[in-house]
Structure 1
C-alpha cells in the first residue's frame, strides 16, 4: 500500500469514525432524554386509557364507508355532546372529557374516516368537506334532539365544513360549539417555530415528501416501531407544552394513536389540511354559544389562528392556556372540561 493510499484510508477511517461517534452520541443523548422523562413522576400510570367503552355502532355513510361510533352516558339526557377528534388521532383522544361527562351527559364519539376503527377512505375522499358530510350523517343517525359539537384540530375543521354545507342546522339542532386547538385556514403559512427562511423551505418540500411517504406507506409503517424513542420525543415536544410533569404514560398513549394511523392516511389528508379555508363559514356559528380553546405553545394550530376565529365570532369565549400545546384536551383536561361545562351551561340559558 502506497503512502498516498494509506493516507486516504486513514482519512476515510477518521471520517467514518467521527460519523459513528456522532451517531452514537446522538443516540445516547436521545436515550438520556427519554430516560429522564420516563423517570419523572407518572401521575397517569394507572389511568385506564382506551378502556372507557360505550355502546358501539357502525354507520355506513352515503358513499359506503363504515364509521365506528360509540354512544355513552345517559340515553335519556336532553342534550347530546358530539366529539370530533383530530388528525392522526381517534375517539379515545377524548378520554378525560368522556370520563368527566359520562355520568351526566349523553355523548356520541366517532372515529373519522380512515382513523381509528373506521374504514379507510380513498385518497380522493380524504377531504374536510367529506368529513363534514360524515358528521351530518352521524348527527342524523345518533342525535335525537339538540346537541353541542366539540372538535379538536381536524375535528374543528370538520365542524366548520358542516357549517359551510348545512348552516340551517346551527341554532336549532346544534345549540353550541367548542373549537379546540384548531384553525379556519392558512395552515400552510405556519412557521412551526422555525426561522422564516427555514420554514419556507420546509413548506416547499413538505408536500412532495409527504406524497412520497404515502406511496411508500406500507414500507414506512413497518419501520414505525412500537415504543420508538424518536416517536416518543416527537410526541412529547410537539404535542405537549413546557411543563415537566407530563406523564410518560400519557405520551405513550398519544403516540400509540398517532402510530396507529397508517402513513398513507397521513399523506392522504395532508393536502386537505393545508388547503383548508372556512373562515367565511364561521358566521354560521355566531347565533350559538361558542367556546374557543388553545394552548399558547401550540405549534400546529397556533393561538393566532384561534384569535382570528374569535374576531370572526365576537360572542365566542376564547381561552388561551399557558404552557400548553396541541394535545390540550389530554394535557390540560381540567381546563378543557371546565370550558365545556361552561359552554353547556350557556346553551341551557339560551
Structure 2
C-alpha cells in the first residue's frame, strides 16, 4: 500500500469516528446492532424526532460571513409577556437562547423544546452553530471559540434586541457561552439574567481521561495539520466511508454518548444521525479550538447571574470532574448531577433535566 494512502486512510478513520462525537475502541458487526435494537425496550419508538414547530425562521449572517439558521418559538397565544409593565419596561420572563454542542444541532434540545412549548410560558430561540445543521460553513480557516461567541451575539442582536435573556448551552454550546462572557462580561447581570451549562468544560480538554477529547490529547497538536490536509483532499471520501460504517458509529454513539447500558435505540439513532450530518471537514476545523479551549477566567462574568450546572455522572466526553471545576469557580451555582447519564444528558434523562431547568427558571422569576 502506498504510505500516503495508508496515512490518509488512517486519518480518515480517526476523523470519521470523531465526527460521531466519540473515541474509537469498539469493533462489531451489523448483526450485533440488529440484535441490540431488537432486544432493548424502546420508550421512544414512536417519538417524532427531527423538525419541530416554530413561529419564525430566519438567517442571521455573522461578521465573518457565515449564515446561521435560526428558529424562534413564541409564547402560547394569550400570554402577555409585558402585562403589568409600564412603557419602556421589560417583561420579567426572559427569552431563552439555546446553544448546542459539537457535531449536533438545535435538535439537541428536543425534549426541552417540546416541554417548554407545551407550557407556552417563554419565548425561545434556537440556532445551528456554524458548520452544523442547516447553517452555513466558515469559508476559510478554523472555527475559533471567540468567533462562536460573536455568532451567539449576532443571533441575540437579531432576535432579542432588548429584554432579559437566559443562555442554555450544552457541551461546546457551554464553551460558546463562556467565550461570549469573555467578550461581553458587561451583559451578565444586565441582559443575561441566568445561565445553564450542561455537560461542558471550562478548558484544557486534554485532562479528559476518556472520550473524544482524550483521543485528541493523545494525538496532540502534531496530528492537526495531517487531519486538516486529509480532509481537504479526501473529505468527501471520508464522509462516504462514515456512512458505510454507520452501524459502528451507532454502537460507538451508544457506548460513549450515553450512561445507561441499554438506552433507547431510537434515541441513539437520533443522536448518531445528528453526528453523521456534520461533515469531516467541519469536524477537523473544530478540533484545534476544542483542544485548546481554556476559559475559566471568563466564568467570573457568570458570577453576576444565577447559574445552573447539569452533568451526567457517567459522562465520558466531558466527565464530572469538569463540571466540578466549573463549580469551584462558581461556588454559588446550582449543581445537578444525573445518575446513569452520559454526555447527551438532556436527551437521555430529559425528565430530570426538565425538572431542574423549570425549577431554575421559576427561581429567576421569583
Using structure 2 for the length normalisation, give the TM-score: 0.82
Q: Which residue of 2 aligns with 1:38?
A: 37
Larger RCO of the pair (alpha carbons < 8 Å, separation 6+): 2
Residue 304 of structure 1 is aligned with which of 321, 341, 354?
A: 321
Q: Which residue of 2 aligns with 1:22?
A: none
Measured after TM superposition, the shift of residue 53 of structure 1 is 2.4
Q: Which residue of 2 aligns with 1:71?
A: 72
Query: Distance in 2 between the 1:193 and 1:258 partners?
Result: 15
Cα distance change, pair 207–101 in 1 and its aligned pair in 2 (3 A):
same
Greater shift after overlay, 89-98 or 49-58?
49-58
Q: Which residue of 2 aligns with 1:86?
A: 101
Q: Deviations over 1:279-332 (max 9, x none)?
A: 011010012110111111111111111000001001101111112111111101
Query: Distance in 1 between the 2:225 and 2:205 partners?
Result: 17
- Does the aligned pair in 2 maintain the 1:239–1:326 contact within 8 Å? yes
Q: Deviations over 1:119-158 (max 9, x none)?
A: 1113525111100001111111111410100000010000
Q: How many positions carry a matched residue from both structures?
A: 321
1:154 paired to 2:172: yes
Q: Which residue of 2 aligns with 1:332?
A: 349
Query: Distance in 1 between the 2:328 and 2:315 partners?
Result: 19
Query: Distance in 2 between the 1:51 and 1:83 partners?
Result: 15
Give runs of aligned pairs for residues 304-323 of structure 1, distance below 5 A: 304-323=321-340
Give the alignment's Cα RMSD to 1 decimal: 2.3
Task: Please state which structure has a larger fraction of its residues in helix.
Answer: 1
Q: Deviations over 1:69-105 (max 9, x none)?
A: 0001317543211000000111011100000111221
Cα distance change, pair 28–190 in 1 and its aligned pair in 2 (3 A):
closer
1:265 paired to 2:282: yes
Measured after TM superposition, the shift of residue 29 of structure 1 is 4.9
Query: Distance in 2 between the 1:325 and 1:109 partners?
Result: 23
Q: Which residue of 2 aligns with 1:229?
A: 247
Query: Distance in 1 between the 2:304 and 2:335 partners?
Result: 16
Q: Which residue of 1 aligns with 2:204?
A: 186
- Does the aligned pair in 1 maintain the 2:206–2:217 contact within 8 Å? no
Cα distance change, pair 201–158 in 1 and its aligned pair in 2 (3 A):
closer
- Does the aligned pair in 1 maintain the 2:211–2:317 contact within 8 Å? no
Query: Distance in 2 between the 1:243 and 1:188 partners?
Result: 26
Query: Distance in 2 between the 1:110 and 1:200 partners?
Result: 29
Structure 2 unaligned residues grouped into runs of 5+: 1-25, 82-92
- Does the aligned pair in 2 maintain the 1:148–1:175 contact within 8 Å? yes
Query: Distance in 1 between the 2:344 and 2:140 partners?
Result: 26
Moved over 6 A (4+): none
Q: Which residue of 1 aligns with 2:305?
A: 288
Give runs of aligned pairs for residues 94-173 of structure 1, distance below 5 A: 94-102=109-117, 103-143=120-160, 144-173=162-191
For the residue of structure 2 that corresponds to 1:320, the secondary structure is strand
Query: Distance in 2 between the 1:325 and 1:205 partners?
Result: 30
Query: Distance in 2 between the 1:340 and 1:225 partners?
Result: 35
Structure of larger gyration radius: 1
Using structure 1 for the length normalisation, give the TM-score: 0.86
- Does the aligned pair in 2 maintain the 1:153–1:183 contact within 8 Å? yes
- Does the aligned pair in 1 maintain the 2:143–2:289 contact within 8 Å? yes
